[in-house]
């Protein structure tokens, strides 16, 4: 039986050429796998037909938008996950769901190898291959660009020679990856980190310098998940899409950062994540009134480690699974409403309410009705500072000799 290889297929030049390139280099049949995670553009059926026209023996396509929103974006939201304090893991969280479908297709079509279009320089090769090794330990991995010398000039020449139904003349100066959670742009003149981004880079967000009138929105959560916007019930996918539209119109969610890649180099990245950043902002403010202080402090540490694991391609790791359990437990009381005004590139929370809030007005107020017993503060301060006071006395005694 002829060996079969499953290929992560986007429908673009490189992966379209990779179908025939892999076949010629290995003698294997290629099954193209396209997964819709809300990246927009062509329909899955158009992509499927192109894959077949480019030589794939089978084409597996999956509408994974709700799956991606529910099982990947929502855990990211619950974690308030921002890699290095900036990046909402736009590409990093899409790779595990694609990996899941690649392995599923490999089982369905009897493939022994999984291929992806990543280079040897980035994070995604790690995310794909670690995920594939975890879900399908018996499967092999190849990367045509990295392992089979498929460069862009060779891809264009191959496509023209074979008459493949793919555009080969235009070269976008940027590398772009996008899904419903956000959009990532890199390479080209952005590699000079002194160069400012130009307006043509952006697609999900309007320029914040000339915004429309302020947009006030009320986002309702149940156990950490958005369930309504302005009183209208929404699914997680609908919540992200609606806030992509409204926050994007206000220029919210533009990020320009130099980040530490897993492979050891620093890389300049431009991100647009209007819905993600608006939701993370709202969710964090709701946690501020519903999560106990020590639990919240520890969750911040867990969230940072969670983001690092996901960025580093460890979505399916035991540690990430354990951190998931802790984060999920913290969300038990994260229910309520957040009112937010979006305008000029900012999303500012100006109201919060929750039936499970830990905020006690009678304890917090300085006006009549204050129930806080201030007489207890003096003794508390004495005990709280006792260890530092004793240590300071020791230091002065010893150092003063």
State the CB neighbour count (10 A cutoff) for residue 2. Answer: 9
List the catalytic residue out of 14, 65, 94, 312: 14
Give yes or no: 220 in active site: no
The answer to whether 317 is a known ligand-binding residue is no
Which residue out of 4, 48, 50, 124 is catalytically annotated? 124
Evaluate the CA torsion angle 381, 386, 391, 392 in order and state its sign: positive
Structure tokens at 11: 């429908």
**Residue 18 near residue 115, CB atoms below 8 Å:** yes
254 among known catalytic residues: no
Closest by Cα among 321, 292, 324 to 76:
324
| Secondary structure letter of residue 90 according to DSSP | T
Does the annotation place 91 within a ligand binding site?
no
Indicate the fold that domain 176-291+334-353 takes in CATH. 3.90.1260
Instruction: Spell out a b/e string for 229-265, using b for 16 or more CB atoms within 10 Å of the CB, else e.
Output: beeeebebbbbbbbbbebbbebbbbbbeeebeebeee
312 is catalytic: no
What's the distance, CA 94 to chain centroid?
Answer: 7
User: Considering 146, 147, 175, 177, which one is annotated as catalytic?
Assistant: 175
- 23 annotated binding-site participant: no
Query: Is residue 207 annotated as involved in ligand binding?
Result: no
- Return the pLDDT at 293: 97
What CATH number does the domain located at 366-399 have?
Answer: 1.20.5
Q: Along the 401 residues of the chain, how does pLDDT read in single tens digits? A: 789 999 999 888 889 999 999 999 999 999 999 999 999 888 999 999 999 999 999 999 999 999 999 999 999 999 999 999 999 999 999 999 999 999 999 999 999 999 998 888 889 999 999 999 999 999 999 998 888 888 878 888 888 888 888 775 556 667 889 999 999 998 888 999 999 999 999 999 999 998 999 999 999 999 999 999 999 999 999 999 999 999 999 999 999 999 999 989 999 999 999 999 999 999 999 999 999 999 999 999 999 999 999 999 999 999 999 999 999 999 999 999 999 999 999 999 999 999 999 999 888 888 888 888 889 999 999 999 999 999 999 999 999 76
Q: Has 359 been labeled as part of a binding site? A: no
365 is annotated as contributing to ligand binding? no
Annotation says 124 is catalytic: yes
Report whether 297 belongs to an annotated binding site.
no
Q: How far is CA 80 from the centre of its chain?
A: 10
CB 256 within 8 A of CB 345: no
**Three-state DSSP class for 345?**
coil
Q: pLDDT averaged over the chain?
A: 94
Annotated ligand binding at 123? The verdict is: yes
Please give the CATH topology (third level) of the domain spanning 4-171.
Rossmann fold (3.40.50)
- CA 279/CA 201 separation, integer angstroms: 23
Lookup: tokens for 104: 């599923």
Annotated binding-site residue? 94: no
Are domains 4-171 and 366-399 of this chain identical in fold? Answer: no
pLDDT at 125: 93
354 is in an annotated binding site: no
Where in the chain are the domains? Answer: 4-171, 176-291+334-353, 366-399
Which segments of 198-276 are extended strands (E)?
215-222, 225-229, 232-233, 254-260, 266-272
Picking from 171, 168, 115, 175, the residue whose alpha carbon sits closest to that of residue 146 is 115
Residue 364 annotated in ligand binding: no
- Say how far apart CA 68 and CA 95 lie, in whole Å: 10
Exactly one of 4, 50, 95, 352 is catalytic; which is it?
Answer: 95
The annotation status of 127 as a binding-site residue, yes or no, is: yes
Residue 160, number of CB atoms within 10 A of its CB: 12
Q: Considering only CA atoms, which of 12, 5, 14, 13 is closest in space to residue 32? A: 5
């Amino acid at each position: 039986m002829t060996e079969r290889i499953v290929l992560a297929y986007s429908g673009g030049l490189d992966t379209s050429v990779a179908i025939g390139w892999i076949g010629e280099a290995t003698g294997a049949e290629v099954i193209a796998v396209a997964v819709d995670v809300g990246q927009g553009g062509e329909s899955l059926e158009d992509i499927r037909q192109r894959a077949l026209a480019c030589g794939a023996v089978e084409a597996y396509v999956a509408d994974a938008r709700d799956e991606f929103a529910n099982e990947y974006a929502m855990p990211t939201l619950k974690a308030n996950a921002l890699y290095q304090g900036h990046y909402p893991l736009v590409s990093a969280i899409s790779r595990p769901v694609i990996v899941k479908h690649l392995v599923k297709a490999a089982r369905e079509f009897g493939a022994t190898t999984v291929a992806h279009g990543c280079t040897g320089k980035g994070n995604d090769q790690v995310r794909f291959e670690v995920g594939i090794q975890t879900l399908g330990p018996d499967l092999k991995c190849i990367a045509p660009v990295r392992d089979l010398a498929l460069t862009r000039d060779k891809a264009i020449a191959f496509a023209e020679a074979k008459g493949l139904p793919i555009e080969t003349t235009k070269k976008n100066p940027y590398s772009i990856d996008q899904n419903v959670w956000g959009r990532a742009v890199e390479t080209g003149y952005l590699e000079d980190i002194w160069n400012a981004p130009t307006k043509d880079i952006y697609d999900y967000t309007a320029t914040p310098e000339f915004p429309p009138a302020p947009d006030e929105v009320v986002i309702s959560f149940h156990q950490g998940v958005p369930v309504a916007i302005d009183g209208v019930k929404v699914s997680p996918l609908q919540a992200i899409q609606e806030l992509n539209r409204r926050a994007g119109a206000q220029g919210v969610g533009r990020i320009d950062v130099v980040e530490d890649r897993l492979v050891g180099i620093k890389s300049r990245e431009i991100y647009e994540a209007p819905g993600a950043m608006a939701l993370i902002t709202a969710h964090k403010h709701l946690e501020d009134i519903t999560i106990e202080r020590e639990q919240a402090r520890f969750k911040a540490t867990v969230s940072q480690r969670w983001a690092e694991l996901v960025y580093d391609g460890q979505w399916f790791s035991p540690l990430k699974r354990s951190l998931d359990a802790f984060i999920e437990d913290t969300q038990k009381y994260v229910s309520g409403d957040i009112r937010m005004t979006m305008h000029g590139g900012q999303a500012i929370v100006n109201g919060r309410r929750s039936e499970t809030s830990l905020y006690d007005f009678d304890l917090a107020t300085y006006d009549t009705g204050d129930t806080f017993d201030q007489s207890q503060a003096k003794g508390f301060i004495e005990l709280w500072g006792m260890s530092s006071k004793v240590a300071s006395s020791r230091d002065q005694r010893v150092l003063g000799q």
